[in-house]
């Protein structure tokens, strides 16, 4: 009989693999839409259609007693996340799926740096060295001076920074509110924040595009739920390395379905970033310190 000690890490890996597959499905659906629908509108429709998944959270939302400061933090997080979501949709239509996936790996690194600057977290030498390795990985992906860095790559830099900032605000809010409320408020504020941006350049979507964006909302919701199950089953030090598989799947999907070539620099750079994040998560576990650095998939659209 398998003991719980063995079963829980395996369960965590299983749910993290499932999480990665669901988020790769999100990438595929968004990539298949092309550029006809503007990025802000596509992002708005993804969140607006996804509001249906908030119905079970209406009870906790009504019962939550939010003060003015909390509402301000929820609003700030929503606005930061709104910017990141628009930038992500913009990048998805313009650069390879593998580039988007690999560059989004930097979000946890920005969280670690932000925690040091804004929350007073200490950056020991080993953690600083790991951050340095991750930054080298990002430079390998971008290769400034050796390849053209297009608007999509620039958008992904801002996406990762925005999602990192959103996570830090969520970390602060999660000390006072349940995960259901934090997620629900993000969805509501982002939907409201995206509405005027979408209206500025509205293109009437057809039935297929609406179906695709509803699929994006469903897969993203499922991905975040599977991620929660992975976190319950095993520590980040176990599940974090598994996120590299998402880049492998993204590369294969881009090659098979979207005629994108395999860029070994992107794969190697992504591997360095995930290795650095995994090391930081492992050190947090060993030192039994309050975990700050999130899993890669905790900063998804």
Cβ 176 vs Cβ 94: under 8 Å: no
Is a pLDDT exceeding 70 seen at residue 298?
no
pLDDT band at residue 148, thresholds of 50, 70 and 90?
Answer: confident
Is a pLDDT exceeding 80 seen at residue 8?
no
Q: What is the pLDDT of residue 141?
A: 94
Q: What is the pLDDT of residue 6?
A: 46
How confident is the model over 231-253, as a mean pLDDT? 85
Q: What is the pLDDT of residue 276?
A: 92
Cβ 237 vs Cβ 282: under 8 Å: yes
Is a pLDDT exceeding 50 seen at residue 200?
yes
Is a pLDDT exceeding 90 seen at residue 145?
no
Question: Can you tell me the distance from the alpha carbon of 280 to that of 274, in angstroms, rounded to the nearest whole number?
Answer: 10
pTM over 0.85: yes
| Of 122, 108, 125, residue with least CA distance to 161 | 108
pLDDT band at residue 209, thresholds of 50, 70 and 90?
Answer: very high
Q: What is the pLDDT of residue 5?
A: 43
**217-226, 248-257, 281-290: the lowest-pLDDT one:** 281-290
Cβ 88 vs Cβ 166: under 8 Å: no
pLDDT band at residue 297, thresholds of 50, 70 and 90?
Answer: low
Instruction: Provide the mean pLDDT of the chain.
Output: 87
Is a pLDDT exceeding 70 seen at residue 126?
yes
Q: What is the pLDDT of residue 258?
A: 92
- Bridge partners (DSSP) of residue 147 are 144
Torsion on CA atoms 111, 166, 60, 47, rounded to nearest 10: -130
Is a pLDDT exceeding 50 seen at residue 226?
yes
Is a pLDDT exceeding 90 seen at residue 266?
yes
Cβ 194 vs Cβ 82: under 8 Å: yes
How confident is the model over 243-266, as a mean pLDDT? 92
Q: What is the pLDDT of residue 175?
A: 79
Q: What is the pLDDT of residue 291?
A: 63
Is a pLDDT exceeding 50 seen at residue 2?
no
**Cα angle for residues 23, 268, 262 (degrees, 5° grid):** 70
Within 10 Å of residue 117's Cβ, how many Cβ atoms? Answer: 10
Give the position of tokens 């990048």: 91
CA 232, 268, 250, 179 torsion: positive or negative?
A: positive
Q: Is 200 exposed, middle or buried (0-12, 13-18, 19+ CB in 10 A)?
A: exposed
- Helix, strand, coil distribution of the chain in percent, nearest 5: 80, 0, 20
Q: What is the pLDDT of residue 288?
A: 66
Cβ 103 vs Cβ 153: under 8 Å: yes
Is a pLDDT exceeding 90 seen at residue 230?
no
- Bridge partners (DSSP) of residue 144 are 147
How confident is the model over 71-83, as a mean pLDDT? 94
């Amino acid at each position: 009989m398998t003991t719980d000690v063995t079963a829980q890490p395996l369960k965590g890996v299983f749910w993290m693999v499932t999480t990665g597959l669901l988020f790769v499905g999100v990438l595929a659906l968004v990539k298949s839409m092309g550029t006809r629908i503007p990025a802000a509108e596509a992002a708005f429709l993804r969140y607006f259609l996804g509001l249906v998944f908030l119905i079970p959270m209406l009870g906790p939302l009504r019962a939550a007693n939010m003060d003015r400061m909390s509402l301000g933090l929820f609003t700030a997080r929503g606005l930061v996340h709104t910017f990141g979501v628009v930038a992500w949709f913009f990048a998805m239509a313009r650069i390879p799926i593998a580039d988007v996936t690999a560059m989004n790996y930097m979000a946890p690194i920005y969280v670690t740096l932000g925690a040091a600057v804004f929350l007073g977290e200490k950056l020991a030498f080993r953690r600083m060295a790991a951050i340095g390795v991750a930054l080298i990985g990002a430079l390998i992906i971008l290769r400034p001076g050796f390849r053209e860095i297009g608007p999509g790559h620039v958008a992904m830099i801002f996406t990762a920074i925005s999602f990192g900032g959103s996570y830090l605000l969520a970390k602060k809010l999660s000390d006072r509110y349940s995960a259901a409320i934090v997620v629900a408020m993000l969805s509501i504020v982002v939907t409201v924040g995206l509405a005027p941006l979408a209206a500025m350049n509205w293109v009437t979507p057809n039935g297929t595009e609406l179906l695709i964006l509803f699929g994006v909302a469903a897969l993203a919701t499922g991905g975040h739920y599977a991620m929660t199950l992975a976190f319950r089953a095993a520590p980040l030090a176990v599940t974090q390395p598994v996120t590299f598989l998402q880049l492998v799947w993204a590369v294969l999907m881009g090659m098979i379905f979207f005629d994108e070539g395999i860029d070994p620099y992107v794969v190697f750079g992504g591997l360095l970033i995930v290795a650095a994040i995994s090391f930081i998560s492992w050190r947090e576990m060993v030192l039994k310190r309050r975990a700050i650095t999130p899993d890669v998939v905790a900063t998804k659209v």
